[in-house]
Amino acid sequence: MTLMQLMAALMPILSVLVFLVVMRLPATRAMPLSVLVTALGAALVWQVPLMQLAASVAEGWLIALTILIIVFGAILLLNTLKATGALEVICQGFSRISPDHRVQVLIIAWLFGAFLEGASGFGAPAAIAAPLLVALGFSPLAAVVMALIGDSAPVSFGAVGTPVLVGLGQGIPGISAETLQQIAVIAISIDVVTASLLPLAMLALLSRFFGAGRNWRDGLALWRFALFSGFAFTLPAYLVARFLGPEFPSILGALIGLAVVVTAAKRRWLLPLTVWRLPGAPPVPDAKLVKDITRDNPSMGLLKAWLPYLFVAGLLVVTRVDALPFKQALQSVALDFSQLLGTGISIRITPLYLPGTLFVVVAVIVALVSRLSMVETRRAWHESLSRLVPAAIALGASVPMVRIFLNSEVNTAGLDAMPAALGDMAATIFAQQWPLVAPFIGMLGSFIAGSSTFSNMMFASLQQDAALVSQLPVDVILALQLLGSNAGNMICVMNIVAAASVVKLVGKEAEVIRLTLIPALGYCVLVGIIGLVVCQF
């Protein structure tokens, strides 16, 4: 690969870093520039035909539409719950568990987000967790950063095992179910060490960049409870992966972790006497205020307030289990776009199966059951729709850029697709140190493609080949790919835009990446070191 070809293959990454992070342009301006630069590189250097480029853009717009439905559904459900008073009751419920913001971020972003990731994935956890944190007094930037970091480790088994079963399964055709489970067990075994540290990293970043004292000390002071919260998820997830398979580690691990950690927080186990709150947050409510919340609506208890989210979680689970008939029924309603513009690019959209559709359905049910007036209902829908415009611009550019990158295997230059070419080059240069590099390949895939599943599909074969050439255990290298792909979820532009849109933070994407990049890189370094040690034995 020539230097010019290398630069063209790197264009999607470099352009995002330059426009979004270095120049700090808002995503609404940065991403259109990035897709233009990427398209020019693909056309002039990679010699991708014009119809292939146009079809990739069309495919990207269709995928962006599905992401926008998730964003809209999350915002609409949030606005509906605000109108009914349920959101305020939920927030006071969290305050009664613990008024400490450090504890709240572990319960919501780390554990509740893990459950949503295991049940649904595809951007839904951050879109739900971030506005809940904002309602509790977190700044929008802090809420998005915490939600994205928390929604990382559970991604390995997110959406009922999709990154393993579909990502690795399709990335290496013919791989057996037994091998996939073995890879899953290796990944979660490493994560018992690495992911268990993420809650502590979240608290340290929260206090350092958002606390009143701007220090690491306030976050690290809760180290015992943070580690307890980390192991409360990873240990049950390990047992589930070992004995049940890769479908349910995130779901069951999160449920068990929630039960354990909420109990510990209520009884103040491992917690200091002082309560830590973010600057500008409302004061800790007293018992009288908590009672006053439901005075105008006595029937709005905590359970009733939570029912919409519980209903959403239940629907996500039952509609994603293959043994039940609901998944097949919802997926049977599909929009097929075959051979777009005469190319080999095709896409199938199942609108009823999208998490965002379920959010909208639950929001409508909540409005009807709560007897919201037409004025309040229209206001909720109008506010939700008006928030989509900036996200539509950013996603309408970023997703086509990704699809151009991925679909570049059709070219007249006789080259592999851009990601495969970059991966082959990395495998050649870093063959002897591949366990250190493998997680970063996975992270790169998620950063660009916006999905752990896509990252695994893109790079699983490359990782396998690199392992065989370097005489390394293939299952360990694929586990490192899986773990790296979940780290990429912290810095994925599409997830960042989606979460930022929900909390009115569009334009601050560079700040989000600057903060989430720290734990993402640290996580991959630690995973790589452990992988290197494991490969020696």
Q: What is the pLDDT of residues 3-37, one digit of tens each?
A: 888 888 888 888 888 888 788 888 788 889 989 99
pTM of the model: 0.83
Burial of 14 (C-beta count, 10 Å sphere; 0-12/13-18/19+): middle
pLDDT score recorded for residue 74: 78
Q: How far is CA 522 from the centre of its chain?
A: 18
Q: Tokens 């015992």 appear where?
A: 224
Alpha carbon distance 516, 282 (integer Å)? 26
pLDDT score recorded for residue 324: 85
Q: Tokens 């776009």 appear where?
A: 337
Alpha carbon distance 484, 191 (integer Å)? 11
The token duo for 53 is: 């480029």
**What's the Cα-to-Cα distance from 323 to each of 312, 327, 447, rounded to whole Å?**
19, 9, 32
In a structure prediction context, what are the per-residue pLDDT tens digits for the chain, which is 537 residues long?
788 888 888 888 888 888 887 888 887 888 899 899 999 999 999 999 999 999 999 998 998 888 788 878 878 888 898 899 888 888 788 888 999 999 999 999 999 889 888 866 666 688 788 988 998 899 999 999 999 999 999 999 876 688 898 889 878 878 898 999 999 999 999 999 999 999 999 999 999 999 999 999 999 999 999 999 999 999 999 999 999 888 889 988 998 999 999 999 999 999 998 999 999 877 765 444 444 434 445 556 778 888 887 888 788 778 877 788 998 999 999 999 999 999 999 999 999 988 889 889 999 999 999 899 999 999 999 988 887 887 788 778 888 888 898 899 999 998 888 887 887 788 788 877 899 999 999 998 888 777 788 788 878 888 988 888 888 999 999 999 999 999 999 998 878 888 888 888 877 888 999 999 999 999 999 999 999 999 987
Q: First CA to last CA across the chain, in angstroms?
A: 35
Alpha carbon distance 251, 190 (integer Å)? 19
Q: Tokens 């605000």 appear where?
A: 82
pLDDT score recorded for residue 290: 40
Q: Is 336 helix (H, G, I), strand (E, B) or coil?
A: strand
Burial of 285 (C-beta count, 10 Å sphere; 0-12/13-18/19+): middle
Nearest-10 crossing angle of helices 434-449, 452-469: 160
**What is the residue type of 515?**
L
Nearest Cα residue to 152 out of 499, 466, 463, 462: 499
Nearest Cα residue to 81 out of 273, 276, 304: 304
Q: Enumerate helices (H) and strands (E) in the chain, giving the number of each.
A: 27, 2
Nearest Cα residue to 531 out of 470, 480, 475, 474: 480
Nearest Cα residue to 77 out of 451, 392, 355, 393: 355
The token duo for 19 is: 């426009």
Task: Specify which residues 336 forms β-bridges with.
Answer: 348
Task: Specify which residues 138 forms β-bridges with.
Answer: none
The token duo for 209 is: 């960049």
Task: Specify which residues 348 forms β-bridges with.
Answer: 336
Residue 146 neighbours by CB under 8 Å, 6+ apart: 105, 109, 129, 130, 133, 138, 202, 206
Residues 396, 64 contacting (CB under 8 angstroms): yes
pLDDT score recorded for residue 461: 83
pLDDT score recorded for residue 299: 56
The token duo for 297 is: 């609506």
How many CA atoms are closer than 13 Å to the CA of 25, on its beta-carbon side? Answer: 16
Q: Is 20 helix (H, G, I), strand (E, B) or coil?
A: helix
Find the Cα–Cα–Cα–Cα dihedral 33, 35, 40, 45, rounded to 10°.
130
Q: How far is CA 53 from the centre of its chain?
A: 27
* Alpha helices by DSSP H, 343-417: 355-369, 374-386, 388-406
Sign of CA dihedral 430, 436, 441, 444: negative
Q: What is the pLDDT of residues 164-197, one digit of tens each?
A: 988 898 788 788 989 999 999 999 999 999 999 9
Alpha carbon distance 434, 427 (integer Å)? 7
Residues 505, 489 contacting (CB under 8 angstroms): no
Q: What are the phi and psi torsion angles at 349 (to 5°)?
A: -110, 130
